[in-house]
Amino acid sequence: MTDVTKMTPRDYGKSRGISPQLVYYHIREGHINPTHCECGRKVVLVAEADEYFKKGEFGEDSLEDR
């Protein structure tokens, strides 16, 4: 199995169990920086997006505060 480094915002959201709209929202707000793949589509770097969603209100850290 190959490690995926880039995904479309839609595919990333679906693979992580969050809504794609939420991923697009954080791209618009500048929390996640999109890039373009060779085919010209907007994609997110999986490691960067994983790091962002693990912190703050979306990550396990926030569950400990409850």
* pLDDT level of residue 57 (50, 70, 90 thresholds): low
pLDDT, tens only, 1-31: 458 899 999 999 999 999 999 999 999 999 9
Please give the C-alpha separations between residue 45 and each of 34, 37, 64, in angstroms, as whole numbers: 7, 10, 27
Give the list of residues 6+ apart from residue 20 with CB closer than 8 angstroms, or none: 9, 10, 12, 13, 14
pLDDT (tens digit, 9 = 90+) per residue, 37-54? 998 999 999 999 999 998
What's the whole-model pTM score?
A: 0.76
Longest dimension (CA), the chain: 43
Structure tokens at 58: 């979306």
